[in-house]
Chains A and B, each alone.
Chain A
């Protein structure tokens, strides 16, 4: 199987007043067509990993590739869609304007842009609000704009940083449905989450991170068989959590 995301010995150190090693030599591979759940407690290094993949943060050492292209090259991002952890978009634009803007950046042909915008707005159910400025949106609606812009280029790989945070139960269900639908289309999805139940239902494989280190990686069913426990119990054990007796 072709590796879509390839990370080798990735180390990221943050400098400044409080130096911090956010990733300590991470090795990770995500293959084509997989839905990959990236788990770990707060501060584990999930967002940092994604920031390196997107070129926001620099690796101290090690290597990261998307589609076999070094992440430092902008062209590596041609076939990906990205949803940031906290979604913020140009508040003075409407949903369709922002999607048009990003579509142009992807170099989508003029004739295809409008139908593509229609399709993604329908998918995230924002069609009714497409002509309103984003500053008038609720948080959940902004999250949907985020998802829409991540899908505008019909990407082969989606990198989603906590895609369901801040959504109501219906919104979460819809995001799960979107992820499953993308999987059906043969796309690869790499997403971080704190919702273990959700991860269990949609993911082919998961990785559990803690303090910049990979603690476990594999198919959910395999992990559960190995440890003889639920995903939640495995998670808590691996991150070294002991409940007060």
Chain B
């Protein structure tokens, strides 16, 4: 290897036009109009690299893993493990065995709730969550509390959609066993101060699970810098396939946790008298995994890191500011979620037009947004509204998309004038 440092190439300029060409679905029409896809918080579209990786896997490498001595099985096993290493680098985990493949973010949370819960949570213990969690980061903890007699504490949120910081300090205490907090809220766009929460929780020896379902594709993630104990994300929002998710857990945490499900692959030996569990991460991966999904996810991550998460984040920041100001000028429209630190989400309500009606009308103009409670009913209750309309950004979003949304929202106002 040459000792001469490579000339630091200027990072390739972010070109949203080029990016869009990589996403075949963006070329289609809906209701006779060009598709304006602004429902990325629900799921993102897939770049050609991901679609190709799936086709290539099933065309050339399909085999079960960890079980065969034959060529294809070894190739598939290797591709699957390479995918794990890609995820490891992506979140900057110390070791590949700290990455467990799951079905989605929800399964990662359930795994931790079940497994940590079984081993370490009992009566009188407390689990702390926040008022802006997705239902998938509420219900597993409620179930855990029901099972163990632990108590669920909820950090309240302000009308702007920020955590009440004194309450964070008050609620995380000596009884706290685990804190589960969303990194980037899917209904408000708030980016939570997870570093501070993690620091505080660790002062009380509590573990922290960060729900990164929304943050993983908008913000660069470094689990070692965060020092979180668990981090979950979901492939289909990360420009990857559905049915694949990731759980990062510190090795020392995962090691002391009992398995989540029993079955093949998660054992090293089975007799009717005694079964020995496999090592990390396989202990948590019972049964044949979603091999193609893991490979597709790795292709998505490679694509995303190739474009550059910093550049994507900068592009989305610019669009969020543009969208915030453009929507702010629509008479009668009010943004829901106005935290100082925000990303990628534009949730809003409009005088005289219910979000559901907004959704239907803008859809007729080719604009796909989500309406409803976004699986965050407590947020809606807190804000005193039944639902919002939500536009959410991705790397391929453009100012033109925002303009189309604003025009479509204007049409909704006309219909209901």
Partners in one complex: no
